[in-house]
Every structure is written in C-alpha cells, then in structure tokens.
Amino acid sequence: MAEAFFPELFKSFFIAFGVILGGSLMGGLASFAMGQPLFIEMWRLSNFLRIWAIIAAIGGTFDTVYSFEKGFLNGETKELFKQFLLILSALGGANTGAMIISWLTQEHISS
C-alpha cells in the first residue's frame, strides 16, 4: 500500500537527518576509542555522509530514477514534482544534521 505524500516527505527529512547525526556521533566515538580527535572526525564524517544520507532517505536510487523516467516519458509531471520534493526534503534533513554537527564541534571556525 502506498503511503501518503506528506508523511513520506517528513520521513525523508528525518531519515537523512538521523543518518547524519547517528553516523557522525557513532563514527566520532569510534575514532575517539582509536585515539583520534573526536570533534574533528565527527565534522569530517558529517560532510562525508551527506550524499549517503540523501540516498538512504529517498530509498535508493533506482526507484527515484524510475519515477523520473515515468514523469518525463509518460508526461506525469505530478510524480516528477513529488520526487523532486522528496529529494529536496532529504537535502534539507542532511544539511540540518550537518549544521548541528558543525555547531556542536565548532570546526568551521578557523583559528
């Protein structure tokens, strides 16, 4: 059964948000256990995980490509617009998570 669009939009945002926060925090703790600097590694991981968070949030790339194909070739612009909004929501969630990690670690401030 297909889920309604707005719950899917919120899920897309928060999945990307959670992948960034969880991946950065757990990866930072692992690097700390190995003797690496915690905050620098968390900041680096939040930047590295951004694309993977977006891919995880939209459910993989093949479904999205199929929906884009259906939108272009069959003239279903509604489906095309929905996929665009889902990707935009995932981008927002990943960016919000990376911004929180950046604020937490203060690695964006140069000395």
What tens-digit pLDDT sequence spans the chain (111 residues)?
567 888 888 999 999 999 999 999 999 999 999 999 988 899 999 999 999 998 888 886 566 677 777 777 777 778 788 888 988 999 999 999 999 999 988 866 555
Q: Give domain limits for the chain.
A: 5-105
The pLDDT value given to residue 81: 85
The pLDDT value given to residue 6: 87
Query: How far is Cα 32 from Cα 102, in angstroms, rounded to an integer?
Result: 17
Specify the pTM.
0.83
Of 51, 43, 12, the residue nearest 25 (C-alpha): 43
The pLDDT value given to residue 109: 59
Of 23, 53, 36, 42, the residue nearest 105 (C-alpha): 42
The pLDDT value given to residue 26: 95
Query: How far is Cα 31 from Cα 18, in angstroms, rounded to an integer?
Result: 19
